[in-house]
Structure 1
Amino acid sequence: MDVWRLPISASQRGKLISAGYTSLSSLTSVTSSQLARAEAKISENEAVNILKIASQGSGSDLSRGNCSVINGAQNAWDMLHEEELLARISTSCSDLDNVLGGGINCREVTEIGGVPGIGKTQLGIQLAVNVQIPHNFGGLGGKAIYIDTEGSFMVERAIQIAEASIEDMSEYNEFLHKDLRAGQVKIKPKDLLENIFYFRVCTYTEQIALINHLDKFVSEHKDVKVIIVDSITFHFRQDFDDLALRTRVLSGMALKLMKLAKKFNLAVVLLNQVTTKYTEGSFQLTLALGDSWSHSCTNRIILYWNGNERHAYVDKSPSLRSASAPYSVTGRGIRNCVSNCKRVRMM
Structure 2
Amino acid sequence: MSETSRFRSTEGSHGALKGAQTAWDMLSEEQMQKHITTGCEELDAILGGGIHCKEVTEVGGVPGIGKTQLGIQLTVNVQIPVECGGLGGKAVYIDTEGSFMVERAHQIAEGCISDLLDNTAHRLKDFPACPERLQPNSFLSNIFYFRICSYTEQIATINYLEKFLEEQKDVKIIVVDSITFHFRQDFDDLALRTRVLSGMSLKLMSFAKKYSLAVVLLNQVTTKFVEGSFHLTLALGDTWSHACTNRIILQSV
What's the TM-score once normalised by structure 2's chain length?
0.90
Give deviations 1:245-282, integer Å, cap 9, x for gaps. Answer: 11111111100000000000000000000011111112
- What residue is the counterpart of 2:245 in the other structure? 298
Tell me, in whole angstroms, the C-alpha distance in 2 between the residues paired with 1:265 and 1:115. Answer: 30
Tell me, in whole angstroms, the C-alpha distance in 1 between the residues paired with 2:232 and 2:152. Answer: 28
Please tell me whether the aligned partners of residues 169 and 185 of structure 1 are also in contact (alpha carbons under 8 angstroms): no
Is 1:93–2:40 an aligned residue pair?
yes
Structure 1 residues 84 and 202, CA, compared in 2 at 3 Å: closer, same or farther?
Answer: same
- What residue is the counterpart of 1:38 in the other structure? none
Is 1:162–2:162 an aligned residue pair?
no
Matching residue within 205, 208, 223 for 2:152: 205
**SS of 2:251 mapped into structure 1:** strand
Tell me, in whole angstroms, the C-alpha distance in 2 between the residues paired with 1:156 and 1:102. Answer: 28
More helix by share: 2
Please tell me whether the aligned partners of residues 173 and 182 of structure 1 are also in contact (alpha carbons under 8 angstroms): no
How do 1:308-347 residues align onto structure 2 when only pairs under 5 Å count? none
Give deviations 1:197-249, integer Å, cap 9, x for gaps. Answer: 00001000000111111111101101000000000000000000111111111
Q: Superposition RMSD on alpha carbons, in Å?
A: 1.9
- What residue is the counterpart of 1:328 in the other structure? none
Tell me, in whole angstroms, the C-alpha distance in 2 between the residues paired with 1:153 and 1:181. Answer: 36
Matching residue within 201, 207, 217 for 1:260: 207
**SS of 1:71 mapped into structure 2:** coil
- Cα distance, 1:182 vs structure 2: 10
Matching residue within 224, 227, 233 for 1:280: 227
Larger RCO, structure (CA 8 Å, separation 6 or more): 2
Paired residues in the alignment total: 238
- What residue is the counterpart of 2:5 in the other structure? none
Is 1:185–2:131 an aligned residue pair?
yes
Tell me, in whole angstroms, the C-alpha distance in 2 between the residues paired with 1:300 and 1:287. Answer: 9
Structure 1 residues 194 and 110, CA, compared in 2 at 3 Å: closer, same or farther?
Answer: same
Which blocks of at least 5 consecutive residues in structure 1 are unaligned?
1-65, 307-347
**SS of 1:116 mapped into structure 2:** coil
- What residue is the counterpart of 2:190 in the other structure? 243
Tell me, in whole angstroms, the C-alpha distance in 1 between the residues paired with 2:222 and 2:42. Answer: 27
Give deviations 1:19-49, integer Å, cap 9, x for gaps. Answer: xxxxxxxxxxxxxxxxxxxxxxxxxxxxxxx
What's the TM-score once normalised by structure 1's chain length?
0.66
Give deviations 1:185-208, integer Å, cap 9, x for gaps. Answer: 222100000000000010000001
- What residue is the counterpart of 1:143 in the other structure? 90
Deviates more, 1:95-104 or 1:153-162: 95-104
Structure 1 residues 177 and 259, CA, compared in 2 at 3 Å: closer, same or farther?
Answer: closer
Larger radius of gyration: 1
Give the aligned residue type for 1:168. D
Give the aligned residue type for 2:173. V
Please tell me whether the aligned partners of residues 166 and 185 of structure 1 are also in contact (alpha carbons under 8 angstroms): no
How do 1:19-30 residues align onto structure 2 when only pairs under 5 Å count? none
- What residue is the counterpart of 2:59 in the other structure? 112
Give the aligned residue type for 1:135. V
- Cα distance, 1:285 vs structure 2: 1.4
Structure 1 residues 87 and 177, CA, compared in 2 at 3 Å: closer, same or farther?
Answer: closer
Structure 1 residues 129 and 281, CA, compared in 2 at 3 Å: closer, same or farther?
Answer: same
Tell me, in whole angstroms, the C-alpha distance in 2 between the residues paired with 1:100 and 1:80. Answer: 16
Tell me, in whole angstroms, the C-alpha distance in 2 between the residues paired with 1:78 and 1:182. Answer: 33
Give the aligned residue type for 1:230. D
**SS of 1:122 mapped into structure 2:** helix
Give the aligned residue type for 1:277. K
- Cα distance, 1:283 vs structure 2: 1.8
- What residue is the counterpart of 2:26 in the other structure? 79
Tell me, in whole angstroms, the C-alpha distance in 2 between the residues paired with 1:177 and 1:199. Answer: 35
Matching residue within 124, 132, 143 for 2:79: 132
- Cα distance, 1:177 vs structure 2: 6.6
Report sequence identity in percent. 68
